[in-house]
Amino acid sequence: MLGTRRTTFLSFQPPAIGDEEIEAVTETLRSGWLTTGPRTAELERRFAEYVGAKHALAVTSGTAALHMALVALGVGPGDEVITTPITWPATANVIVHTGATPVFADVRESDLNIDPDEVARLVTPRTRAIVPVHLAGQPADLDPLWALGLPVVEDAAHAVESEYRGRKIGGLSAATCFSLYATKNVAAGEGGVITTNDDDVARAVDDHRIMRRGHGSLYDIAVPGYKANLSDVLASIALCQMDKLEHHREVRMRHVAAYDAAVAELDGIDPLARDPRDLHALHLFVVRIDAERAGATRDEYQRAMADEQIGTSIHFLPVHRLTAYRDRYPDQPPLPVAERAGDEILSLPLSPAHSPGDIDDAIAALRRVHAGFTGS
Ligand SMILES: Cc1ncc(COP(=O)(O)O)c(C=O)c1O
Protein backbone atom coordinates (compact mmCIF):
# COMPACT_ATOMS: atom_id res chain seq x y z
CA MET A 1 0.00 0.00 0.00
CA LEU A 2 2.75 2.45 0.94
CA GLY A 3 5.07 1.26 -1.86
CA THR A 4 8.84 1.09 -1.88
CA ARG A 5 11.71 3.54 -1.88
CA ARG A 6 13.09 4.95 -5.16
CA THR A 7 16.39 3.57 -6.33
CA THR A 8 17.54 6.91 -7.84
CA PHE A 9 17.53 10.33 -6.18
CA LEU A 10 14.67 12.63 -7.22
CA SER A 11 16.00 16.17 -7.73
CA PHE A 12 13.98 18.92 -6.16
CA GLN A 13 13.65 21.18 -9.23
CA PRO A 14 15.42 19.88 -12.35
CA PRO A 15 15.26 22.22 -15.37
CA ALA A 16 12.82 21.32 -18.17
CA ILE A 17 15.20 21.81 -21.11
CA GLY A 18 14.64 20.14 -24.48
CA ASP A 19 15.96 20.06 -28.03
CA GLU A 20 14.43 23.48 -28.72
CA GLU A 21 16.70 25.18 -26.18
CA ILE A 22 19.75 23.26 -27.43
CA GLU A 23 19.04 24.27 -31.04
CA ALA A 24 18.37 27.91 -30.04
CA VAL A 25 21.72 28.13 -28.24
CA THR A 26 23.56 26.58 -31.19
CA GLU A 27 21.89 29.00 -33.57
CA THR A 28 22.76 31.97 -31.35
CA LEU A 29 26.40 30.90 -31.12
CA ARG A 30 26.48 30.59 -34.92
CA SER A 31 24.96 34.08 -35.22
CA GLY A 32 28.05 35.62 -33.64
CA TRP A 33 26.08 37.37 -30.88
CA LEU A 34 27.53 36.28 -27.57
CA THR A 35 26.60 39.39 -25.63
CA THR A 36 23.41 41.48 -25.60
CA GLY A 37 21.93 41.57 -29.10
CA PRO A 38 18.80 40.73 -31.10
CA ARG A 39 17.71 37.74 -28.92
CA THR A 40 17.80 39.89 -25.80
CA ALA A 41 15.80 42.58 -27.60
CA GLU A 42 13.29 39.93 -28.67
CA LEU A 43 13.05 38.59 -25.11
CA GLU A 44 12.39 42.10 -23.81
CA ARG A 45 9.66 42.64 -26.42
CA ARG A 46 8.02 39.27 -25.66
CA PHE A 47 8.27 39.72 -21.89
CA ALA A 48 6.76 43.24 -21.94
CA GLU A 49 3.90 41.98 -24.10
CA TYR A 50 3.36 38.90 -21.91
CA VAL A 51 3.07 40.81 -18.63
CA GLY A 52 1.39 43.88 -20.18
CA ALA A 53 4.09 46.42 -19.26
CA LYS A 54 5.47 49.27 -21.37
CA HIS A 55 9.10 48.34 -20.78
CA ALA A 56 11.03 45.14 -20.04
CA LEU A 57 14.79 45.28 -19.44
CA ALA A 58 16.81 42.08 -19.32
CA VAL A 59 19.69 41.77 -16.86
CA THR A 60 22.07 39.12 -15.53
CA SER A 61 19.98 37.88 -12.57
CA GLY A 62 16.93 38.45 -10.43
CA THR A 63 19.30 39.95 -7.88
CA ALA A 64 20.59 42.46 -10.45
CA ALA A 65 16.99 43.24 -11.46
CA LEU A 66 16.12 44.17 -7.86
CA HIS A 67 19.36 46.12 -7.44
CA MET A 68 18.95 48.08 -10.69
CA ALA A 69 15.29 48.84 -9.88
CA LEU A 70 16.17 50.29 -6.47
CA VAL A 71 19.06 52.30 -7.95
CA ALA A 72 16.75 53.58 -10.70
CA LEU A 73 14.28 54.77 -8.06
CA GLY A 74 17.07 56.69 -6.34
CA VAL A 75 17.21 54.54 -3.19
CA GLY A 76 20.44 55.25 -1.31
CA PRO A 77 22.18 55.91 2.00
CA GLY A 78 19.90 57.16 4.76
CA ASP A 79 16.81 55.54 3.21
CA GLU A 80 14.81 52.65 4.63
CA VAL A 81 13.23 49.98 2.45
CA ILE A 82 10.58 47.69 3.93
CA THR A 83 10.66 44.05 2.84
CA THR A 84 9.73 40.55 3.97
CA PRO A 85 11.96 38.23 6.00
CA ILE A 86 10.59 35.15 4.21
CA THR A 87 12.60 35.47 1.01
CA TRP A 88 15.89 34.58 -0.60
CA PRO A 89 18.55 36.83 1.05
CA ALA A 90 19.14 38.64 -2.28
CA THR A 91 15.95 40.65 -1.75
CA ALA A 92 17.43 42.25 1.37
CA ASN A 93 21.07 42.19 0.18
CA VAL A 94 20.35 44.57 -2.69
CA ILE A 95 18.85 47.07 -0.25
CA VAL A 96 22.15 46.94 1.66
CA HIS A 97 24.06 47.33 -1.65
CA THR A 98 22.30 50.66 -2.31
CA GLY A 99 23.43 51.92 1.11
CA ALA A 100 19.85 51.89 2.45
CA THR A 101 18.63 49.97 5.52
CA PRO A 102 16.33 46.96 5.13
CA VAL A 103 13.38 47.00 7.53
CA PHE A 104 11.69 43.61 7.91
CA ALA A 105 7.91 43.43 8.28
CA ASP A 106 6.41 40.20 9.58
CA VAL A 107 4.41 37.96 7.24
CA ARG A 108 0.84 36.67 7.21
CA GLU A 109 0.14 33.27 8.75
CA SER A 110 -1.90 32.12 5.72
CA ASP A 111 0.55 32.44 2.80
CA LEU A 112 3.71 33.83 4.46
CA ASN A 113 3.60 36.92 2.23
CA ILE A 114 4.38 40.34 3.74
CA ASP A 115 1.65 41.59 6.09
CA PRO A 116 0.45 45.01 4.85
CA ASP A 117 -0.64 46.02 8.38
CA GLU A 118 2.90 45.41 9.62
CA VAL A 119 4.29 47.42 6.68
CA ALA A 120 2.00 50.36 7.51
CA ARG A 121 3.20 50.24 11.12
CA LEU A 122 6.86 50.43 10.03
CA VAL A 123 6.63 53.36 7.58
CA THR A 124 8.71 56.37 8.69
CA PRO A 125 9.70 59.62 6.94
CA ARG A 126 12.84 57.75 5.77
CA THR A 127 10.93 54.94 4.04
CA ARG A 128 11.79 55.16 0.35
CA ALA A 129 10.27 51.97 -1.10
CA ILE A 130 8.49 48.71 -0.29
CA VAL A 131 9.67 45.36 -1.70
CA PRO A 132 7.06 42.59 -1.36
CA VAL A 133 7.81 39.05 -2.58
CA HIS A 134 5.21 36.84 -4.26
CA LEU A 135 6.23 33.74 -2.34
CA ALA A 136 5.93 30.47 -4.26
CA GLY A 137 3.87 32.29 -6.93
CA GLN A 138 1.07 33.59 -4.68
CA PRO A 139 0.85 37.39 -5.19
CA ALA A 140 1.37 39.47 -2.08
CA ASP A 141 -1.57 41.71 -1.21
CA LEU A 142 -0.66 44.78 -3.26
CA ASP A 143 -3.71 47.08 -2.84
CA PRO A 144 -2.94 48.05 0.78
CA LEU A 145 0.76 48.48 -0.11
CA TRP A 146 0.00 50.83 -3.01
CA ALA A 147 -2.38 52.74 -0.69
CA LEU A 148 0.64 53.77 1.41
CA GLY A 149 1.75 56.02 -1.49
CA LEU A 150 5.35 54.76 -1.66
CA PRO A 151 7.06 53.18 -4.69
CA VAL A 152 6.56 49.40 -4.69
CA VAL A 153 9.23 47.18 -6.27
CA GLU A 154 7.78 43.69 -6.60
CA ASP A 155 10.10 40.72 -6.21
CA ALA A 156 8.38 38.48 -8.75
CA ALA A 157 11.15 35.86 -8.93
CA HIS A 158 8.47 33.18 -8.39
CA ALA A 159 5.67 34.94 -10.22
CA VAL A 160 6.14 34.99 -14.00
CA GLU A 161 2.60 33.67 -14.52
CA SER A 162 0.88 35.18 -11.49
CA GLU A 163 -2.12 37.50 -11.60
CA TYR A 164 -3.25 39.76 -8.79
CA ARG A 165 -7.04 40.20 -8.77
CA GLY A 166 -7.24 39.45 -12.49
CA ARG A 167 -4.24 41.59 -13.57
CA LYS A 168 -0.95 40.07 -14.62
CA ILE A 169 1.99 40.74 -12.31
CA GLY A 170 4.53 42.90 -14.15
CA GLY A 171 2.76 46.11 -15.13
CA LEU A 172 1.23 47.09 -11.81
CA SER A 173 3.89 48.74 -9.60
CA ALA A 174 6.78 51.18 -10.02
CA ALA A 175 8.94 48.20 -11.04
CA THR A 176 8.62 44.41 -11.04
CA CYS A 177 11.65 42.11 -10.94
CA PHE A 178 11.73 38.58 -12.35
CA SER A 179 14.42 35.89 -12.16
CA LEU A 180 15.39 33.54 -14.99
CA TYR A 181 17.46 31.33 -12.65
CA ALA A 182 17.73 27.60 -13.44
CA THR A 183 14.77 26.55 -11.27
CA LYS A 184 12.34 29.33 -12.21
CA ASN A 185 9.20 29.06 -14.37
CA VAL A 186 11.15 30.72 -17.22
CA ALA A 187 14.57 29.16 -16.70
CA ALA A 188 17.54 30.42 -18.70
CA GLY A 189 20.14 29.22 -16.18
CA GLU A 190 20.80 32.77 -15.02
CA GLY A 191 19.09 36.06 -15.85
CA GLY A 192 16.52 38.57 -14.75
CA VAL A 193 13.99 41.04 -16.14
CA ILE A 194 12.72 44.37 -14.82
CA THR A 195 9.32 45.51 -16.08
CA THR A 196 7.85 48.98 -15.62
CA ASN A 197 5.44 51.44 -17.21
CA ASP A 198 7.56 54.37 -16.06
CA ASP A 199 9.80 55.83 -18.78
CA ASP A 200 12.14 57.42 -16.22
CA VAL A 201 12.64 54.14 -14.33
CA ALA A 202 13.29 52.30 -17.61
CA ARG A 203 15.81 54.92 -18.73
CA ALA A 204 17.61 54.87 -15.38
CA VAL A 205 17.82 51.05 -15.39
CA ASP A 206 19.16 51.15 -18.93
CA ASP A 207 21.76 53.78 -17.96
CA HIS A 208 22.97 51.66 -15.04
CA ARG A 209 22.92 48.11 -16.41
CA ILE A 210 25.57 48.61 -19.10
CA MET A 211 28.18 51.14 -20.10
CA ARG A 212 27.88 51.74 -23.83
CA ARG A 213 30.62 52.80 -26.15
CA GLY A 214 28.23 54.26 -28.71
CA HIS A 215 29.37 54.57 -32.32
CA GLY A 216 32.80 56.09 -31.96
CA SER A 217 35.91 55.70 -29.92
CA LEU A 218 35.17 58.90 -28.03
CA TYR A 219 32.70 58.29 -25.23
CA ASP A 220 31.36 59.77 -22.05
CA ILE A 221 29.22 58.41 -19.23
CA ALA A 222 26.47 60.15 -17.26
CA VAL A 223 26.52 57.72 -14.29
CA PRO A 224 29.10 55.30 -12.88
CA GLY A 225 27.06 52.26 -13.86
CA TYR A 226 27.24 48.52 -13.37
CA LYS A 227 27.60 45.55 -15.73
CA ALA A 228 24.33 43.67 -15.60
CA ASN A 229 23.23 43.13 -19.21
CA LEU A 230 21.95 39.71 -20.33
CA SER A 231 23.74 37.69 -23.03
CA ASP A 232 21.92 36.59 -26.19
CA VAL A 233 22.86 32.96 -25.44
CA LEU A 234 20.78 33.01 -22.26
CA ALA A 235 18.04 35.12 -23.86
CA SER A 236 17.64 32.44 -26.55
CA ILE A 237 16.97 29.83 -23.83
CA ALA A 238 14.49 32.13 -22.08
CA LEU A 239 12.60 32.65 -25.36
CA CYS A 240 12.11 28.87 -25.74
CA GLN A 241 10.97 28.64 -22.14
CA MET A 242 8.39 31.36 -22.76
CA ASP A 243 6.99 29.30 -25.64
CA LYS A 244 6.53 26.43 -23.18
CA LEU A 245 4.88 28.38 -20.36
CA GLU A 246 1.36 27.19 -21.10
CA HIS A 247 2.33 23.53 -21.43
CA HIS A 248 4.51 23.68 -18.32
CA ARG A 249 1.66 25.25 -16.39
CA GLU A 250 -0.59 22.28 -17.26
CA VAL A 251 2.07 19.91 -15.92
CA ARG A 252 2.50 21.97 -12.74
CA MET A 253 -1.28 21.99 -12.22
CA ARG A 254 -1.43 18.19 -12.35
CA HIS A 255 1.48 17.87 -9.92
CA VAL A 256 -0.04 20.36 -7.49
CA ALA A 257 -3.46 18.66 -7.65
CA ALA A 258 -1.80 15.35 -6.75
CA TYR A 259 0.02 16.95 -3.80
CA ASP A 260 -3.13 18.74 -2.60
CA ALA A 261 -5.09 15.48 -2.54
CA ALA A 262 -2.26 13.66 -0.77
CA VAL A 263 -1.48 16.16 1.99
CA ALA A 264 -5.20 16.61 2.75
CA GLU A 265 -4.97 13.11 4.28
CA LEU A 266 -1.80 13.73 6.30
CA ASP A 267 -2.43 15.28 9.69
CA GLY A 268 -0.02 18.09 10.53
CA ILE A 269 1.14 18.71 6.95
CA ASP A 270 -0.61 21.73 5.46
CA PRO A 271 0.07 23.62 2.21
CA LEU A 272 0.40 27.41 2.21
CA ALA A 273 -2.85 29.20 1.34
CA ARG A 274 -3.57 30.06 -2.30
CA ASP A 275 -6.00 32.97 -2.75
CA PRO A 276 -8.75 32.01 -5.26
CA ARG A 277 -9.01 35.68 -6.33
CA ASP A 278 -5.49 35.48 -7.73
CA LEU A 279 -3.66 33.31 -10.25
CA HIS A 280 -0.88 31.38 -8.54
CA ALA A 281 2.25 30.66 -10.63
CA LEU A 282 2.63 27.22 -8.94
CA HIS A 283 6.38 27.77 -8.78
CA LEU A 284 6.75 25.96 -5.46
CA PHE A 285 4.63 23.57 -3.42
CA VAL A 286 5.37 24.57 0.17
CA VAL A 287 3.93 22.74 3.17
CA ARG A 288 4.14 23.56 6.87
CA ILE A 289 4.93 20.73 9.20
CA ASP A 290 3.36 21.03 12.62
CA ALA A 291 5.76 18.92 14.68
CA GLU A 292 3.14 18.05 17.30
CA ARG A 293 0.54 16.68 14.87
CA ALA A 294 3.00 15.35 12.27
CA GLY A 295 5.06 13.51 14.88
CA ALA A 296 8.41 15.10 13.94
CA THR A 297 10.03 18.41 13.08
CA ARG A 298 10.55 19.82 9.59
CA ASP A 299 14.26 18.98 9.80
CA GLU A 300 13.46 15.37 10.70
CA TYR A 301 11.01 15.19 7.79
CA GLN A 302 13.61 16.64 5.42
CA ARG A 303 16.21 14.08 6.50
CA ALA A 304 13.72 11.22 6.26
CA MET A 305 12.69 12.34 2.75
CA ALA A 306 16.37 12.42 1.71
CA ASP A 307 16.72 8.86 3.05
CA GLU A 308 13.77 8.04 0.79
CA GLN A 309 15.77 9.52 -2.16
CA ILE A 310 13.49 12.57 -2.41
CA GLY A 311 15.06 16.04 -2.69
CA THR A 312 13.29 18.86 -0.84
CA SER A 313 14.17 22.47 -0.08
CA ILE A 314 13.30 25.35 2.26
CA HIS A 315 11.76 28.61 1.02
CA PHE A 316 12.84 30.39 3.11
CA LEU A 317 14.73 30.76 6.38
CA PRO A 318 13.94 34.22 7.84
CA VAL A 319 16.58 36.60 6.49
CA HIS A 320 16.82 38.68 9.68
CA ARG A 321 17.99 35.55 11.57
CA LEU A 322 20.91 34.88 9.19
CA THR A 323 24.39 35.72 10.47
CA ALA A 324 25.04 38.70 8.16
CA TYR A 325 21.82 40.37 9.28
CA ARG A 326 22.15 39.48 12.97
CA ASP A 327 25.69 40.92 12.92
CA ARG A 328 24.76 44.05 11.00
CA TYR A 329 21.44 44.82 12.74
CA PRO A 330 21.73 43.25 16.22
CA ASP A 331 18.66 45.08 17.56
CA GLN A 332 16.31 43.51 15.03
CA PRO A 333 12.92 43.01 16.73
CA PRO A 334 11.48 39.48 16.75
CA LEU A 335 9.13 38.56 13.90
CA PRO A 336 7.14 35.72 15.45
CA VAL A 337 5.12 34.56 12.43
CA ALA A 338 8.17 34.40 10.15
CA GLU A 339 10.35 32.77 12.80
CA ARG A 340 7.85 29.98 13.50
CA ALA A 341 7.25 29.44 9.79
CA GLY A 342 11.01 29.26 9.18
CA ASP A 343 11.09 26.14 11.39
CA GLU A 344 8.07 24.52 9.73
CA ILE A 345 8.23 25.03 5.96
CA LEU A 346 9.33 22.41 3.48
CA SER A 347 9.13 22.59 -0.33
CA LEU A 348 8.33 19.34 -2.14
CA PRO A 349 9.75 18.49 -5.60
CA LEU A 350 7.98 20.49 -8.31
CA SER A 351 9.13 20.96 -11.88
CA PRO A 352 7.61 20.41 -15.33
CA ALA A 353 10.59 18.08 -15.84
CA HIS A 354 9.09 15.70 -13.26
CA SER A 355 6.89 12.89 -14.56
CA PRO A 356 3.61 12.01 -12.82
CA GLY A 357 5.48 8.91 -11.57
CA ASP A 358 8.14 11.12 -9.94
CA ILE A 359 5.47 13.06 -8.05
CA ASP A 360 3.76 9.77 -7.08
CA ASP A 361 7.13 8.63 -5.68
CA ALA A 362 7.48 11.85 -3.65
CA ILE A 363 3.94 11.43 -2.31
CA ALA A 364 4.44 7.75 -1.45
CA ALA A 365 7.66 8.65 0.38
CA LEU A 366 5.90 11.42 2.31
CA ARG A 367 3.14 8.97 3.31
CA ARG A 368 5.69 6.43 4.54
CA VAL A 369 7.64 9.08 6.47
CA HIS A 370 4.42 10.44 8.01
CA ALA A 371 3.24 6.95 8.95
CA GLY A 372 6.64 6.26 10.55
CA PHE A 373 6.61 9.46 12.61
CA THR A 374 2.95 9.31 13.66
CA GLY A 375 2.79 5.53 14.15
CA SER A 376 -0.36 5.46 12.00
C1 LIG B 1 12.30 35.37 -3.93
C2 LIG B 1 13.59 35.52 -4.70
N3 LIG B 1 14.09 36.74 -4.91
C4 LIG B 1 15.22 36.93 -5.60
C5 LIG B 1 15.92 35.87 -6.13
C6 LIG B 1 17.20 36.13 -6.85
O7 LIG B 1 17.16 35.72 -8.18
P8 LIG B 1 18.54 35.28 -8.92
O9 LIG B 1 18.95 33.98 -8.36
O10 LIG B 1 18.13 35.21 -10.37
O11 LIG B 1 19.52 36.38 -8.66
C12 LIG B 1 15.43 34.57 -5.94
C13 LIG B 1 16.08 33.38 -6.45
O14 LIG B 1 16.84 32.87 -6.87
C15 LIG B 1 14.24 34.39 -5.21
O16 LIG B 1 13.76 33.16 -4.99
CA-based angle 143:276:49, to the nearest 5? Answer: 65
CA of 13 to the centre of ligand 1 (A): 14
pLDDT at 218: 80
Three-state DSSP at 63 gives: helix
Mean pLDDT of 24-41: 96
pLDDT at 222: 81
pLDDT at 330: 93
pLDDT at 212: 73
87, pLDDT greater than 60: yes
Structural Rg of the chain based on CA atoms: 21
216, pLDDT greater than 80: no
Mean pLDDT of 189-203: 98
Catalytic residue among 54, 168, 184, 227: 184
247, pLDDT greater than 80: yes
H-type helices in 216-285, by residue range? 232-243, 245-263
106, pLDDT greater than 90: yes
User: Which of 181, 184, 230, 237 to mutate for ligand 1's pocket (most ligand atoms within 8 Å of CB)?
Assistant: 181
- Closest by CA to 64, choosing from 159, 172, 175, is 175
184 is catalytic: yes
CA of 62 to the centre of ligand 1 (A): 5
Give, using CA atoms, the residue closest to atom 10 of ligand 1: 62
Q: Which residues line ligand 1 (CB under 6 A)?
A: 61-63, 87-88, 90-91, 133, 155, 157-158, 179, 181, 192
> Which residues have C-beta within 8 Å of that of residue 49, sequence separation ≥ 6?
none
| Contacts for 259-262: CB closer than 8 Å, 24+ residues apart | 259/285, 259/348, 259/350, 259/359, 259/363, 262/363, 262/366, 262/367
110, pLDDT greater than 60: yes
pLDDT category at 283 given cuts 50, 70, 90 is very high
pLDDT category at 193 given cuts 50, 70, 90 is very high
1, pLDDT greater than 60: no
Angle formed by the axes of helices 232-243 and 38-51, nearest 10°: 40
